[in-house]
Amino acid sequence: MRYLVVGGGGFIGSYVVAKLIREKSISEVVVYDNFCSGKKWHLKDFVKNKKLKLIEKDIYEDEIFKFSKGIDVTIMLAANADIAAATTDPQIDFSQGTHLVQIVLEAMRKEGCKKLLYASGSGVYGETGYEFVKEDFSPMEPISTYGASKLGCEALICSYCHMFDMQASSFRFGNVVGGKQTHGVAFDFMRRLKIDSSKLEILGDGMQSKPYIHVNDVVSAMFIALDNQKTKYDVYNVAPKDPASVNEIADIVLKQMNIKKSDCEYRYTGGSRGWKGDVPIVRLDTSKISSIGWKSSMDSIEAIKKSVGEMYDNLDEIMQHD
């Protein structure tokens, strides 16, 4: 078996690559990444492994077609990593999202790769409040270009599956956390507190609450879905049932960094939402992926505590490479 991981140098990608390298049935893992947001140090443990072929190129180049030859499964993880960036540069989610997916699909079609795993997100739903939304929720009305791009990608993938005899699964993840993060709420808090522990600026009112999932659970969900694929196209919510709030994340970070809460002033900015386009409340029904054998190994608080501990142990190195 040969896998192509587009965006394999990124946060989630590096954990996917680690799993693939360990699998005896897999002969080659081709990582295609231009490292505009991915980090080479994410792959430092594998660079000398004979299974790994690292291609440092842009997807816009025709090389993606050449390296799609003979691939059994493509995993598409490349996307704009800075979701809030679209507030000043809205085209970024299309040039680094929807357009890239269409190029990858064309490479698959022309070179005969028939299976795809795609990292989508919960932003496709828009604002649904405290309702635990299922995958067939309607109408889906994204409030950010990021969510709109992901929804457009899902539609493209579905159409290619039906028109060109492919199989694919899209995954609407909760907020993914883990030790190799280079962005996200907890990482941003740690970086700010490392500079000045007397105050912490929090975007929004701190009451935003969403499910947070450890990256290890994300990886397990993807491969369980791959092993159980029976239709041309499927989509799954992937998240713990319980949420965590931004204030809870701040408290966890302070405790990990041995900063007393009484010694740190929380300063709230940006109103109740935070950045424009953010969905402050997210709840995901995960009964569909649970029905094929997946279960989150941690709740949101446990996932955050684990990832914060992992990041803290390597914070100096992460900040040095960031």
CATH code, domain carrying 6: 3.40.50.720
Q: How many whole angstroms separate alpha carbon 174 and alpha carbon 214?
A: 9
Band (pLDDT 50/70/90 cuts) for residue 82 is confident
Measured in whole angstroms, the distance separating CA 243 from the mean position of its chain's CA atoms is 17
Q: Are 285 and 222 in contact (CB under 8 A)?
A: no
For the stretch 102-128, pLDDT in tens is 999 999 999 999 999 999 999 999 999
- How many helices (H) and strands (E) in the chain? 11, 13
| Residues 54 and 153 reside in one and the same domain | yes
Q: How many whole angstroms separate alpha carbon 16 and alpha carbon 26?
A: 13
Per-residue pLDDT at 147 exceeds 90: yes
Six-digit token string for 91: 């085209």
Q: How many whole angstroms separate alpha carbon 188 and alpha carbon 175?
A: 14
Domain that holds residue 201: 179-210+242-275+300-321
Band (pLDDT 50/70/90 cuts) for residue 322 is low
Number of structural domains in the chain:
2
Query: What percent of the chain shows pLDDT beyond 70?
Result: 98
| Residues 133 and 39 reside in one and the same domain | yes
The whole-number pLDDT of residue 272 equals 78
| Residues 149 and 200 reside in one and the same domain | no
For the stretch 236-287, pLDDT in tens is 999 999 999 999 999 999 999 999 999 999 999 978 777 888 999 999 999 9
What does the chain come to in residues? 322
CA separation, residue 4 to residues 66, 91, 115, 216, 298 (Å): 11, 26, 10, 19, 29
Q: Look up the pTM and report it.
A: 0.95
The whole-number pLDDT of residue 315 equals 80
Is there a domain that residue 61 lies in? yes
Q: What is the DSSP letter of 9?
A: T
Is there a domain that residue 140 lies in? yes
| Residues 22 and 136 reside in one and the same domain | yes
| Residues 103 and 138 reside in one and the same domain | yes
| Residues 306 and 204 reside in one and the same domain | yes
SS3 258: coil
The whole-number pLDDT of residue 274 equals 77
Other Cβ atoms less than 10 A from the Cβ of 169: the count is 24
Phi first, then psi, for residue 210 (nearest 5°) are -145, 165
| Residues 39 and 186 reside in one and the same domain | no
Residues 161-188, mean pLDDT to the nearest whole number: 95
Measured in whole angstroms, the distance separating CA 190 from the mean position of its chain's CA atoms is 20
Per-residue pLDDT at 38 exceeds 80: yes
